């Protein structure tokens, strides 16, 4: 009898012990995050542990796609006018999206605006304001109507320059998400310098993403939680320069050919990273009323941080918001 109660006592202790081992074991998240430099920014990939081979696949694919798109862009930019330049299926997709965003923004968003923004030193500097003569000369060349493309080729009517940087990074993220799915990974985050896709859930809860406050040390602007969607922010506080007390951001309006400083930041949630990326720039170029009209059509929640530091939530952003 004494022996029996002793055994059950130890059994009980044993189960308590195991229980706590399991509990404390949960503390380590079971995820691994790797950070590295790619596509002109810091990329952070979070995956369930023990996926080293997938990490490596993703890094290699990201470099390959980025090189491919950059090389194609350079070829097009360096090509003489009137010549047919062959393009990949990826680039054809990007051109179709360029036409879509151009149309959606009534011409404000235009990949040929790089003809002008390049004169200021964007995207990577050194920056300076070009003289009026130079701008005038180049304004005539820019314009989406000056390029024509088929699924296989593109040609330019003028000596313009294009840049798909506003949304091609998002497109690459989406292609990496496809690789994750093919490898049967259904939980993780790909964060390419603040362009994020959230795949699945983190164990038993949804991923939580904070929108950065441009004022250092201040609370996040908003925290959102969702699954199998992307969030991207375009702001005036990362890529810009100041000349004569005027802030020149990297976002240019193709109607006025000028750098635009409309908001401190615009964040968009969409089904794909490419769409969130493109729309964040499109919305940055528009006034609040126009954004409201478009986001209800595209069904994409928007968060705007205005120049006077007001927070505006549109098209259901608050549905994804969690307290923080």
Partner 1 sequence: MKYPTKTDIVVILILLAVCLFPLFEDKTTGKDKKLLLLIDKNVYELPLKKQTLNLKQQYGVNMIVETDTNRARITKSDCPEQICVRYGWVEECGEISVCVPNKTAIQIKCEEKKEIDGISQ
Question: What residues line the site for partner 1 (CB under 8 A)?
Answer: 2, 6, 9-10, 13, 16-17, 20-21, 23-24, 27, 29, 33-38, 40-42, 44, 46, 59, 124-127, 189, 191, 193-196, 198, 202, 207-212, 216-217, 220, 223, 231-233, 235, 238, 241, 265, 267, 324
Shortest Cβ 59–partner 1 spacing (Å): 7
Q: Would you tell me the crossing angle of helices 89-104 and 273-284 to the nearest 10 degrees?
A: 40
Nearer to partner 1, 95 or 230 (CB): 230
Nearer to partner 1, 132 or 245 (CB): 245
CA distance 274 to 230: 9
Nearer to partner 1, 177 or 209 (CB): 209
CB 310 within 8 A of CB 226: no
Nearer to partner 1, 41 or 88 (CB): 41
Shortest Cβ 18–partner 1 spacing (Å): 10
Nearer to partner 1, 171 or 207 (CB): 207
Residue for token pair 């090509």: 79
Residue for token pair 């051109």: 95
Shortest Cβ 20–partner 1 spacing (Å): 4
Shortest Cβ 143–partner 1 spacing (Å): 29
Nearer to partner 1, 5 or 78 (CB): 5
Shortest Cβ 236–partner 1 spacing (Å): 12
User: Can the peptide bond before residue 126 be classed as cis, meaning omega within 30 degrees of 0?
Assistant: yes
> Among residues 136, 133, 155, 135, which one has the least CA distance to residue 145?
155
Strand locations in the chain (E): 31-38, 41-48, 85-86, 147-149, 153-156, 188-192, 195-199, 207-211, 222-226, 229-235, 240-243, 246-249, 252-253, 258-259, 263-270, 302-306, 311-314
Shortest Cβ 88–partner 1 spacing (Å): 25
């Amino acid at each position: 009898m004494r022996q029996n109660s002793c055994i059950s006592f130890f059994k009980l202790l044993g189960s308590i012990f195991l229980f706590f081992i399991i509990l404390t074991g949960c503390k380590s998240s079971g995820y691994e995050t790797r950070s590295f430099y790619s596509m002109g920014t810091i990329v952070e990939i979070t995956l369930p542990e023990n996926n080293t081979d997938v990490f490596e696949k993703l890094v290699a694919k990201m470099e390959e796609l980025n090189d491919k798109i950059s090389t194609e862009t350079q070829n097009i930019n360096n090509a003489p006018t009137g010549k047919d330049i062959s393009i990949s299926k990826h680039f054809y997709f990007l051109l179709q999206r360029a036409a879509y965003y151009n149309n959606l923004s009534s011409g404000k968003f235009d990949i040929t605006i790089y003809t002008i923004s390049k004169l200021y030193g964007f995207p990577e500097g050194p920056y300076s304001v070009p003289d009026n003569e130079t701008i005038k000369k180049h304004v005539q060349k820019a314009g989406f109507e000056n390029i024509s493309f088929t699924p296989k080729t593109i040609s330019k009517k003028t000596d313009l320059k294009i840049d798909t940087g506003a949304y091609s990074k998002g497109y690459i993220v989406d292609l990496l998400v496809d690789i994750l799915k093919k490898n049967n990974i259904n939980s993780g985050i790909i964060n390419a310098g603040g362009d994020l896709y959230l795949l699945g859930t983190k164990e038993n809860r949804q991923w939580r993403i904070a929108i950065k406050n441009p004022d250092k040390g201040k609370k996040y602007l908003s925290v959102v939680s969702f699954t199998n969607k992307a969030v991207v922010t375009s702001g005036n506080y990362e890529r810009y320069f100041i000349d004569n007390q005027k802030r020149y951001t990297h976002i240019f309006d193709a109607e006025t050919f000028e750098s635009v400083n409309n908001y401190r930041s615009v964040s968009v949630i969409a089904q794909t990273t490419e769409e969130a990326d493109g729309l964040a720039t499109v919305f940055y170029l528009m006034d609040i009323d126009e954004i409201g009209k478009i986001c209800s059509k595209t069904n994409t929640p928007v968060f705007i941080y205005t120049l006077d530091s007001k927070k505006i939530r549109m098209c259901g952003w608050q549905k994804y918001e969690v307290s923080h």
